[in-house]
Amino acid sequence: MSLTQPASADWREHPEGFRRWEKSTRLGDGPEIWTWASTEVLRWGVKTRSGFTVSPAAAAVRPGDRPVITAHPFGLSVREPVEVVAVVDGEDRVGFAYRTLPGHPVTGEEAFIVHRTGSSVSLTVRSLTRPGRGRWRALYPALLIAQAVARRRYLRALRVRAGR
């Protein structure tokens, strides 16, 4: 079960104790943008186009997958183990959510959703975050700054193709 509810257009319920964040950006119009963006989101495109690596590389996300995402801040490699908890592949809504696993710098869940209304195509990013465990807990304030930078990259990741 996903806490960020990627299948739902209206995300209202979420557990207490997490920082809740949601933002959308318009990608463009038309079937070409829809086809490209909906395919790209299900291939980890938002993450990889934002500077992360995903290992093992997969053709498409699947529930239960447990890849390790690696961030590369300041020339370092920060491993982020996750598990895919939901995949949506509908006519007008496509995306997925993953939860963090032990060893991830924060505890929570993120969702990346491409959706359309008429011909207008948008990307929505959702997240729930709280401090990680162990050594990461003390770095939580700095991790929130890094997360804000990553979110800006997420929202731009699929706009490149749309010429925006």
Domains defined for the chain, CATH in brackets: 21-157 (3.30.530.20)
| Mean pLDDT to the nearest integer, 3-8 | 96
Report the chain's mean pLDDT, rounded to a whole number. Answer: 92
Distance separating alpha carbons of residues 41 and 72, to the nearest angstrom: 20
pLDDT of residue 135: 87
Distance separating alpha carbons of residues 33 and 162, to the nearest angstrom: 7
Q: pLDDT digit string (tens) for 23-62?
A: 999 999 999 999 999 999 999 999 999 999 999 987 799 9
CA-nearest of 136, 151, 58 to 100 is: 136
DSSP string covering 16-82, please? Answer: TTSEEEEEEEEEEESHHHHHHHHHHHTTTHHHHTTT-EEES--SS--TT---EEEE-GGG--EEEEE
Q: pLDDT digit string (tens) for 114-140?
A: 999 999 999 999 999 999 988 888 888
State pTM to two decimals: 0.93
